[in-house]
Amino acid sequence: MGSAQGDLVRSLSAGGPVELIGGKAYRLSILTKYFNVPTGFVVTTKSYDIWKNNKILPQETIEEYFNSPYLLEGRGPVIVRSSANVEDQHNFSFPGVFDTYSNLNTVDEILDAIEKIFKSVTSKRAISYCRSVNVNPDKIKMACLIQRLIKPKYSGILFTRDVNGKNRIIIEYVKGSGEGLTNGYQNPTRIYLQRDIINNKDIPNFISDLVITSLEIEDIFGMPQDIEWAFDGKNVYILQSKDIVLSSKKDREKPTDKKATILKGVPASPGKAEGVAQFILDDQPPEEAKKLFKKGNILVTYVLHAEYYPIFIKARGIVTKVNTILAHPAIFARELGIPCVVGVDVEYITDGDIISIDGYTGEVFVYNPRNVLKSFNLIEVNNKPESTEAKNIEKEYIAALEELDVEKIRNILRYSFKRIKRLYLEGDQKKCFEIYYLINSLMEKSTPDILSRKFKDFHVIIQKADKKEKPRNETEEKIFKIYNLIKKYINYQTEDSKDIPKLLFGVSG
């Protein structure tokens, strides 16, 4: 999405300052890097300012985000929640002051809920609460958080420390939605646990997962936390996290062991580098990310695409979670001559810490690792083709790749990108994105997987291609041509692909 849109509406994981996305969304945006947080987007305080003056909402942009295949896929149910700039602060959290609207399924219902929440800023309840905590009501700026609604098997709250200062965890939960718990309609199950319960076999697995997650969240924010959560039978989701003030304060323990923790990954570009780790996520607007990223830092990310090139050229090295040597960061790292390691559990890396990376061995040295007790898995878009056309593209591409037939691969890519544009312009977005995700998966994942199995030195061959060395034989020459062709398409550098990022996502390729 473009920067102008990002000022009015942006994905939750893109983050942003409290004054733009509000306290609730700000904290959740941090947690999206590491934990299961329901997918969604934020209608920002700038939209609120426009609405307050003109009673106009950015309807088209909200609809675009709602329909985005990366976010809510145009389907409900969703929940719309307040995220004011004054919410979830250290001294006060505005509990229940602003309304929440759930089980919404259409854009019209979402727009109506946003307006109601915007109007609630001047409600008697909000003004009364502001007076009680000595906050000027005129300083309130409201954002709205729209998220996928979780259908929980259990839901509740967790305090990472007893509010009386005792070294224990308090959990309260009910069956189904937590609304009955917060409203007092249901009597919860309450349990007290010691903070070290990792090997406790007497509690359900989901409670163990919840406790592990909650302690990590406490570590991130540096304060005991009041956490709202839901368990859908498979995963624990974090719905909200606020600081709590204890009656007896205790300083966090600071690590004194300077011995590095080694994270293992796959070497994707040779070289060594040391510097400050800085996280950039793929849905932060590129222009904003460029301003935030400091030259000479080590770029840490899950996956980034070609439009983030201005960041790559500022980085001293790159570390990614996504495990493919044909991801954009890896390709650009090789072209720029900086080290890159892919397939790394980046959740162990703390933003702002000094790290060292070795692009020869695939090792990342972390000197102040986060206390991660449970690894985070990337959510992958389902690229399995459903339509006959997509199945044929997959079949023909893999056959051509197995044969190292450069011209067949070129023709398949040309056809695919022309079809993507045509389908989008014809309004068939479902099929358009099916082919888009499929062809990108074939280039970025299937190609290195298949060629690595066929040729044990495939990694070495593509490094030679990046250095523009001469191929040793006909087979190597074909691999060079396939690799260079795919690079151009991945980076949107061909005539039939260069306008795809702007057309589909509103960004320049």
Q: pLDDT tens digits, the chain, 509 residues: what are they?
A: 555 566 899 999 999 999 999 999 999 999 998 999 999 999 999 999 999 999 999 999 999 999 998 899 999 999 999 999 987 665 566 766 788 899 999 999 999 999 999 999 988 878 877 876 678 888 899 999 999 999 999 998 898 987 555 678 888 888 888 765 554 445 678 788 887 665 566 788 899 889 999 999 999 998 888 899 999 999 999 999 988 754 333 333 333 345 788 999 888 888 899 999 999 987 777 888 888 899 999 999 987 876 787 888 899 999 998 877 777 788 778 777 889 998 898 888 888 888 999 988 899 999 877 665 555 555 455 557 889 999 999 999 999 999 999 999 999 999 999 999 999 999 888 899 889 989 988 998 889 889 988 988 887 788 788 778 888 899 999 999 999 999 888 878 899 988 887 787 665 54
* Peptide bond just before 137 cis, omega within 30 deg: no
- Residue 363 β-bridge partners: 264, 358
3-148 to CATH, choices 1.10.10.10, 3.20.19.10, 3.40.50.10890, 3.30.1490.20? 3.30.1490.20
- Residue 190 β-bridge partners: 172
Q: Which fold does the domain 261-366 belong to in CATH? A: Glucose Oxidase; domain 1 (3.50.30)
168-175 sheet: strands from edge to edge: 189-194, 168-175, 154-159, 225-231, 236-243
Contact between 443 and 489 under an 8 Å Cβ cutoff? The reply is yes
Contact between 115 and 50 under an 8 Å Cβ cutoff? The reply is no
- Rounded to whole angstroms, the Cα distance separating 426 from 405 reads 32
Q: What is the 3-state secondary structure (H, E, C) of 104-145?
A: ECCHHHHHHHHHHHHHHHHCHHHHHHHHHCCCCHHHCCCCEE
Local structure of 445: helix, strand or coil: helix
N residues, the chain? 509
- Rounded to whole angstroms, the Cα distance separating 465 from 24 reads 47
Predicted local confidence at residue 372, as pLDDT = 56
User: 203: Cβ–Cβ under 8 A, 6 or more apart, which residues?
Assistant: 191, 193, 197
Predicted local confidence at residue 186, as pLDDT = 58
User: 442: Cβ–Cβ under 8 A, 6 or more apart, which residues?
Assistant: 393, 394, 397, 398
CATH code for the part of the protein at 154-243: 3.30.470.20
Is the C-alpha dihedral spanning 483, 489, 491, 494 positive or negative? positive
65-to-201, 422, 432 alpha-carbon distances in Å: 43, 21, 17
What radius of gyration do the chain's Cα atoms show? 24
Structure tokens given for 315? 């980085």
Task: Tell me the pairing of strands 298-301 and 317-320.
Answer: parallel
422-to-60, 215, 290, 413, 416 alpha-carbon distances in Å: 22, 49, 32, 14, 10
* pTM over cut 0.75: no
- Rounded to whole angstroms, the Cα distance separating 227 from 222 reads 14
Predicted local confidence at residue 310, as pLDDT = 81
Domain ranges (residues) in the chain:
3-148, 154-243, 261-366, 388-505
Predicted local confidence at residue 69, as pLDDT = 87
Predicted local confidence at residue 184, as pLDDT = 43
Contact between 281 and 14 under an 8 Å Cβ cutoff? The reply is yes
- Rounded to whole angstroms, the Cα distance separating 393 from 415 reads 9
Predicted local confidence at residue 270, as pLDDT = 83
Contact between 378 and 321 under an 8 Å Cβ cutoff? The reply is yes
419-to-49, 333, 444 alpha-carbon distances in Å: 40, 30, 19
User: 153: Cβ–Cβ under 8 A, 6 or more apart, which residues?
Assistant: 175, 176, 231, 232, 233
264-to-9, 64, 275 alpha-carbon distances in Å: 37, 39, 18
Contact between 25 and 14 under an 8 Å Cβ cutoff? The reply is no
- Rounded to whole angstroms, the Cα distance separating 444 from 486 reads 8
- Residue 275 β-bridge partners: 355
